[in-house]
Structure 1
């Protein structure tokens, strides 16, 4: 195992500071980082994608766990620190500079199954998450997603129907995957401390329900939660066939979107073909 200098020392030596524009907040606690890296299980020899590694705090933990890490970093200031990490763990780290939202992750990973672990930059976290969970092809190439979010976003992902946190993110995360809140992280663990608490969500793919199009389900949830305070008869009336689908399924059109379970949304999407 490589004998690495403290991360604070590396950051100071390279003159790094967290960029608010890039949604950066650095984690220094090595024990906490090792706990995060352990959430998906044994990573020894396995391919891992990390987005926004910054100076490489979580990257260190992943490399210590034996993972083969591909890290996508937009901030060129962080590249020298990551290069040092690559030298300390020969053959284990590949760094790609650029915008993860503009890249084909399956292509980057060489078509090999991979786990995703990331302290996601706050400003792109939800966009990346919905992209990983979208699309018609299932199961995905990723084997699990272990992602840091603002706690409010994390709670929306794992929410059950009936509550105010329940919405499109919950349906997207739960209709063909299992999502759980794996760990809460206090704001004081970060430098600089964000204004909000954070939490880590762990998602694993499950079987895709038969006869359901991902795009159709997206359209149903977009319409339903786009006007979540209105009854379904109002929010879904612009979606051809939706009100007839509710009637055929025995779903009261006077209900609101947040009262429908994930399974009921799937049934509506299936009825719409």
Structure 2
């Protein structure tokens, strides 16, 4: 039995350190080691990248990453109670685990370890989307991102043109990465149980974006288009171009179409006209 396997059960750790999950921190703990090991295995094979975990809590997924052979793990945690609870895991990891105290939204990963990085995390619900968008903005530094998010967020990340869930998040994510939904995890697996189903989603950064565009311009185009998604593009894009029909014509796009029907490449074509 390894040192990690010999650690006390997570429920004992939670009781010892009084780790009642805090809603303000978006905490929902996964305690089933079989489930956390399944998540860790879904992120394999390990590469030379440093594995980054966000919000390890009492350490369920952290233990799984170590047990499944992750060579080096940096866990970013802002809750002092959880940092104290993770000290035994650090000792059992024989140098493979570093816990960084801080807010993931403000953490400079390069100061923790040089890229590339591989993220494997049960993301706090309240910061999942801004975290993902921030990572995708520097996608070249990541080999793979495997995260547990609300199923609704996973569906929006993986959505294809033509559906109600297709929007700005899908364009931003898929422009820079290939997105796959892997498997669902029901509310009963968490402590406390959330009101929604969660999904493991995998984002594999592309070697280069799907089509040429400047990020800020692409964001402006998609924001204008999807903010009035029920309108035809000729009307939705008027805040950007008074003569939107002409610009759409330059891009070879029918002005009577709606935002949800455009491919990412077509949004990029519009961005290049700005």
Give the TM interval when normalised to the shorter protein: over 0.9
8 A Cα contact 1:54 1:73, kept in partner:
yes
8 A Cα contact 2:177 2:205, kept in partner:
yes
| Corresponding residue for residue 256 of structure 2 | 254
| Corresponding residue for residue 79 of structure 1 | 83
8 A Cα contact 2:17 2:85, kept in partner:
yes
8 A Cα contact 1:151 1:199, kept in partner:
yes
2 CA distance for matches of 1:44 and 1:60? 18
**Structure 2: stretches of 5+ with no match in the other structure:** none
1:72-107 Cα offsets, whole Å, 9 max, x none, are 111111111111100011211111111111122233
In the superposition, the TM-score normalised over structure 1's length comes to 0.93
**Aligned pairs for 1:82-121 within 5 A:** 82-109=86-113, 111-121=114-124
1:99-142 Cα offsets, whole Å, 9 max, x none, are 11112223322x2211001100111111101111125xxx5211
Distance change >3 Å, CA 177–CA 57, structure 1 → 2? same
| Corresponding residue for residue 227 of structure 1 | 228
Matched, 1:265 2:267: yes
1:35-58 Cα offsets, whole Å, 9 max, x none, are 111112122764111111111111
SS for the counterpart of 1:124 is: helix
1:198-238 Cα offsets, whole Å, 9 max, x none, are 10110001132453212211111111112212221122112
Choose 21-30 or 234-243, whichever is displaced more.
234-243
2 CA distance for matches of 1:94 and 1:242? 52
**Aligned pairs for 1:74-223 within 5 A:** 74-109=78-113, 111-134=114-137, 139-206=139-206, 207-209=208-210, 211-223=212-224
CA RMSD of aligned residues (A): 1.7
Distance change >3 Å, CA 155–CA 141, structure 1 → 2? same
2 CA distance for matches of 1:47 and 1:14? 28
Choose 42-51 or 23-32, whichever is displaced more.
42-51
CA-CA distance at 1:245 after TM superposition:
3.2
8 A Cα contact 1:10 1:81, kept in partner:
yes
Matched pairs, number? 268
CA-CA distance at 1:156 after TM superposition:
0.6
In the superposition, the TM-score normalised over structure 2's length comes to 0.92
| Corresponding residue for residue 57 of structure 1 | 60
Distance change >3 Å, CA 75–CA 243, structure 1 → 2? farther
**Structure 1: stretches of 5+ with no match in the other structure:** none
Distance change >3 Å, CA 211–CA 165, structure 1 → 2? closer
SS for the counterpart of 1:200 is: strand
CA-CA distance at 1:254 after TM superposition:
1.6
